[in-house]
């Protein structure tokens, strides 16, 4: 390439950059003017003690605030009338069950929770066998990649902790239920 050709290309790029910078400066000037016009249209805000207003009281020694952006949060209204019984509350009181039916429901709940506890206990025992007192058996690919073994040990530890927490939670739920009365079938 010849030098005059490169010089012409350089001048064209410089001219296009100059036009871009001029447009950018013009946009900034217009935006700045628009913000000033917006600020001039904003009402003056005054602080009178703990109250903000746009109508100052000369007796309260109000001070004008510059560039104030005050957010007004509406308060809640206090109910002056006594609360009327809601339909939901009356429906809840009407849905009471007799003691025999409640004992039967409790027995069913106990049976379901105990079955779930037994399944969780079996899963926990299986995890304990794989855990092998903190040293699970290495799998074929874990001999070459020790980080894989460490990740699996960490996953087993987390699974054991979850399993123990599940068992404790199920046991708590079972203990909250009243004891099964003799003669109540689940």
pLDDT at residue number 85: 56
- pLDDT single digits (tens) 38-70: 555 667 888 888 888 888 888 888 888 877 666
Cβ atoms 174, 117 nearer than 8 A: yes
Q: Do residues 117 and 170 lie in contact, with contact meaning Cβ atoms separated by under 8 Å? A: yes
Strand 63-65 relative to strand 51-53, pairing: unpaired
Per the listing, tokens 């935006």 go with 31
Other beta carbons less than 10 A from residue 110's beta carbon: 19
Summarize pLDDT for 16-30 with one digit per residue, the tens.
776 776 666 656 656
Crossing angle of the two packed helices 146-176 and 99-131, in degrees rounded to 10: 160
pLDDT of residue 82: 61
Q: What is the pLDDT of residues 69-105, one digit of tens each?
A: 667 777 787 777 765 556 665 555 667 888 889 889 9
Q: What is the C-alpha to C-alpha distance for residues 65 and 46, in angstroms, rounded to an integer?
A: 6
The β-bridge relationship of strands 45-48 and 63-65 is: antiparallel
- First and final CA of the chain: distance in angstroms? 96
When pLDDT is cut at 50, 70 and 90, the band that residue 123 belongs to is very high
pLDDT for the residue 112: 94
**pLDDT number for residue 75:** 78
8 Å CB contact between 106 and 179: no
Residue 118 near residue 170 (C-beta atoms within 8 A): no
Q: Distance between CA atoms of 179 and 107, rounded to whole angstroms?
A: 8
The C-alpha atoms of residue 63 and residue 48 are separated, in whole angstroms, by 7
Of residues 118 and 92, more confidence is placed in: 118
């Amino acid at each position: 390439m010849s030098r005059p050709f490169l010089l012409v290309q350089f001048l064209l790029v410089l001219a296009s950059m100059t036009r871009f910078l001029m447009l950018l400066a013009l946009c900034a000037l217009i935006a700045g003017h628009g913000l000033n016009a917006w600020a001039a249209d904003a009402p003056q805000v005054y602080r009178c003690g703990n109250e903000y207003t746009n109508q100052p009281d000369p007796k309260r020694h109000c001070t004008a605030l510059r560039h104030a952006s005050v957010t007004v949060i509406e308060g809640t209204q206090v109910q002056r009338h006594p609360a009327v019984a809601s339909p939901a509350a009356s429906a809840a009181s009407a849905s009471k069950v007799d003691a025999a039916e409640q004992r039967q429901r409790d027995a069913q709940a106990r049976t379901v929770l105990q079955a779930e506890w037994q399944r969780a206990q079996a899963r926990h025992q299986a995890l304990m066998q794989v855990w092998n007192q903190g040293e699970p058996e290495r799998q074929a690919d874990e001999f070459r990649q020790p980080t894989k073994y460490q990740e699996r040990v960490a996953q087993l530890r987390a699974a054991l902790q979850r399993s123990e927490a599940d068992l404790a939670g199920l046991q708590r739920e079972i203990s909250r239920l009243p004891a099964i009365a003799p003669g109540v079938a689940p």
